[in-house]
Amino acid sequence: MAVKTLIEAIRDALFEEMRRDPTVIVLGEDVGYRGGVFRATEGLIQEFGEERVIDTPLAESAIVGVAIGAAVNGFRPVAEIQFADFIAPAIDQIANEAARLRYRSAGEWWCPLVIRAPFGGGVHGGLYHSQSVEAYFTHVPGLKVVVPSDPYDAKGLLKAAIRDDDPVLFFEHKKAYRLVKGEVPDGDYVVPIGPAKVARPGRHLTVIAYGLMTTYALEAADKAAAEGIDVEVVDLRTLYPPDKKTILNSVKKTSRALVVYEDNLTGGFGAEIAAIIAEEAFPYLDAPVMRLAGPDVPAIPYATPLEEAFMVNPEKILAKIRQLAAY
Amino acid sequence: MAVKVVMPQLGESVAEGTIVRWIKRVGERVEKYEPLLEVMTDKVNAEVPSPAAGILREILVPEGETVPVGRELAVIAEAEAEVEVAAPAPAGEAPARPETTEAAEGVRQRYSPVVRRLAQEYGIDLSQVPGTGLGGRVTKEDVLRYVAERERAAAAKGAPPPPRPEAPPAPAPEEEVIPVSPMRRQIAQHMVRSYQTIPHAWLAMEADVTKLVRFREAIKAEFRRREGVDLTYLPFVVKAAVEALKEFPVLNAVWAEDKIILKKRINVGIAVALEDGLIVPVIKDADQKSIAGLARAIADLTERARAGRLTLEDVQGGTFTVNNTGALGSVISRPIINEPQVAILTSEAIVRRPVVVDDAIAIRAVMFLCLSFDHRVIDGLMAARFLQAVKRRLEAVDENTSVY
């Protein structure tokens, strides 16, 4: 099996799905001749042409609006928002149109749409190229929100998203793009949307994470193991709808939970996970449910020391693991 | 002052870079911002400017190598007459213990939901349980440890739970205490974990290996002369098992709670009995080996196991285990699975027995094949098909079989 980066896995999924199904189209800023600013769509336009790989104007609302129109007319569009930070103008289209199309038409219409967007900091992207925006969308029933953390899942989940008949927000951590590598089988396989996975089994406490934070949590767990703390890491993979069963099973076993997310602490998606645990696993808890997240500031700063202060990293996770284990 | 040159971040999402070329050589003078080396990433090629003026004292990463962002690449000596000064050893860092923010007082008596629940379940007076948590708080682990100790004590005495013994009881005159060796302890832990976590199910089948016995008798002297190792029955069994694993890959797997991970490589562990323990070295990629190759690998691993010269690499990565219990004279056994593998196969002693063949009684060489399997992963049907496949292959060995 070939070892690939996360972005190569995503590119593989796009190529394979476009070859498999002629109704799959890709649209977004610079996705065509430029191949995407991160090279996720490189080579697509050469193979599939301008009719299926569409360079759009810098207008996110239009990108998603056009994609919704195509979706209800029989296409399976994969719209790219160049940076998740720029998704705000499209929220009306996503939340008010795409998310409720099936509901408001009582199942007569639906919207097989994927919106891919690179998110996350730690790459010196400054205020407009670093944010985590998943919590805007995990609040909207009718959407599915997916964040892969490793290349295998990235390919399989993107395929599942493209084949899904309802809108899927697919967030890719841009620092993970080339940092995270793993074995990716050639050819077709699907990782279903929904189930979380136990990325590392452990006995003493559970760390729940997604995206780059899963990679960091696994790193921290390895270090904790050297100190005799056996950490279980649950990788959510799909944020919404959340896989309560896997989360609760793990916490019932370990009795201690730490939720890690890069987004701002207050109202971040991890807050919802913490609430689920507190509400549904209360009789099993041996310590308070803890959260580790970015601070509540308006954006990730550009200055290196400030960015480092903002970002959750393996050292910060390890310190929190020690604190939770000692409780 | 020495200045370090590190691999720069050449663009968002770029995590590593490859050194294309060092523009400066060691000992050469370099000005600040003067190109020092050329780096390639999957997005860009770039020249890296020197962060300081001075002499390029050391190149730490050669051309052609790929390293992560932030890795030290070179050292530049700023002053020409730099004197090597031994850096003072870093002061012993205090272990980063979490700060106790809560007052310890009162915490001991504050019990978490799970601790209360367990206390109720087991009928425990929590004030009797020693606490190891924050400020002496009683944790779940403390309760479980207390329960386990109480049960152990009760089982030993056959009496209601006594107060916790302060020290292990001194041996009586008619008893002898044997200290547990590290290997013994590890075997014990591994066996308990395997037996407690894996629901073991067991199957046995009888194989008629008369032709195999005849074949081996015919070639073993020649084999010994040519190969320098004995040809036992074990490589035949391993070969049959490996081929059957190819047919039923789900037995070459690991149970991982929410999924079953099939292993592409077939690495067969061979249980080797030692006087004071047991070790399971692994034949890597056993499916790539002939019977002769397996015989050599087994001889090598067994010899090194007995001499205590196995490396860590030799005992890791097993995906399936074969245990040659027949060598000990056993005719039937029920092995414990080598967790986290899915199954373990024994090859039992070959015995000559009267057997019904067609409508006559014949003397045949027969052996039992026993299989313990993880019933979470497979059911009897799959296990039986696998064992049938092993049996079929062993029974098919005859004078036309090639050991190469």
Q: Do B258 and A7 touch (CB under 8 A)?
A: no
Predicted pLDDT at A71: 97
Residue A84 CA to residue A129 CA, distance in Å, equals: 8
Cβ neighbours of B134 in A, within 8 Å: 326-327
Q: What angle do CA A111, A58, A24 make, to 5 degrees?
A: 35
Locate the DSSP E strands across B264-400: 268-270, 272-274, 277-279, 282-283, 320-323, 343-347, 351-357, 360-374
Domain co-membership, B127 together with B26? no
Q: Which of residues 33-72 of A touch B (CB under 8 A)?
A: 38-39
Q: Flag whether residue A144 sits within 8 Å of chain B, measured between CB atoms.
A: no
Q: Residue A146 CB: number of other CB atoms within 10 A?
A: 28
Domain co-membership, B159 together with B199? no
Residue type, A55: D
Structure pTM?
Answer: 0.57
Domain count, chain B: 3
Query: Which value does ipTM take for this structure?
Result: 0.75
* CATH number for position B189: 3.30.559.10
Q: Do A323 and B96 touch (CB under 8 A)?
A: no
Q: Do B139 and A286 touch (CB under 8 A)?
A: yes
Q: For residue B153, give its domain range.
A: 123-164
Predicted pLDDT at B42: 66
Helices B291-306 and B210-227: angle between axes, nearest 10 degrees: 70
Question: How far apart are the CA of B141 and the nearest CA of chain A, in angstroms?
Answer: 9
The model's pLDDT over A277-318, given as tens digits with 9 standing for 90+, comes to: 999 999 999 999 999 999 999 999 999 999 999 999 999 999
* CATH number for position B54: 2.40.50.100
Superfamily of domain A2-184: Thiamin diphosphate (ThDP)-binding fold, Pyr/PP domains (3.40.50.970)
Q: Flag whether residue A185 sits within 8 Å of chain B, measured between CB atoms.
A: no
Cα B310 from chain centre: 14
Question: How far apart are the CA of A80 and the nearest CA of chain B, in angstroms?
Answer: 17
Domain co-membership, B392 together with B247? yes
Instruction: Give residues with Cβ within 8 angstroms of B400, minimum separation 6.
Output: none
Domain co-membership, B140 together with B203? no
| pLDDT tens across the length of chain A (327 residues) | 899 999 999 999 999 999 999 999 999 999 999 999 999 999 999 999 999 999 999 999 999 999 999 999 999 999 999 999 999 999 999 999 999 999 999 999 999 999 999 999 999 999 999 999 999 999 999 999 999 999 999 999 999 999 999 999 999 999 999 999 999 999 999 999 999 999 999 999 999 999 999 999 999 999 999 999 999 999 999 999 999 999 999 999 999 999 999 999 999 999 999 999 999 999 999 999 999 999 999 999 999 999 999 999 999 999 999 999 999
The model's pLDDT over B159-184, given as tens digits with 9 standing for 90+, comes to: 554 444 444 556 677 788 887 777 78
Q: Do B12 and A39 touch (CB under 8 A)?
A: no
Tell me the β-bridge partners of B66.
Answer: B18
Q: Do B97 and A322 touch (CB under 8 A)?
A: yes
Cβ neighbours of B17 in A, within 8 Å: none
Domain co-membership, B282 together with B344? yes
| Spans of chain B, pLDDT less than 70 | 12-13, 42-44, 79-108, 157-171
Q: Flag whether residue A175 sits within 8 Å of chain B, measured between CB atoms.
A: yes
Question: How far apart are the CA of A319 and the nearest CA of chain B, in angstroms?
Answer: 7
User: For residues B318 and B269, is the Cβ–Cβ distance under 8 A?
Assistant: yes
Is residue B267 in a domain?
Answer: yes
Determine whether B379 is an active site residue: yes
User: For residues A80 and A29, is the Cβ–Cβ distance under 8 A?
Assistant: yes
Question: How far apart are the CA of A323 and the nearest CA of chain B, in angstroms?
Answer: 5
Is residue B285 in a domain?
Answer: yes
- Cα atoms in the 13 Å half-sphere on the side-chain side of B196: 6
* Domains A2-184 and A197-326 alike in fold: yes
Closest-CA residue of A relative to B114 is A284
User: For residues B220 and B205, is the Cβ–Cβ distance under 8 A?
Assistant: no
Helix (H, G, I), strand (E, B) or coil at A291: strand
The class level of CATH for A197-326 reads alpha beta
Helix (H, G, I), strand (E, B) or coil at B25: coil
Give the containing element (helix H, strand E) for B66: strand B66-68
Q: Do A123 and B113 touch (CB under 8 A)?
A: no
Domain co-membership, B151 together with B284? no
Closest CA relative to residue B266, chosen from B311, B316, B320, B347: B320
Residue A242 CA to residue B324 CA, distance in Å, equals: 48
Q: Do A285 and B113 touch (CB under 8 A)?
A: yes
Is residue B172 in a domain?
Answer: no
Which burial class, exposed, middle or buried, applies to A226 when counting CB atoms under 10 A from its CB (0-12, 13-18, 19+)?
Answer: exposed
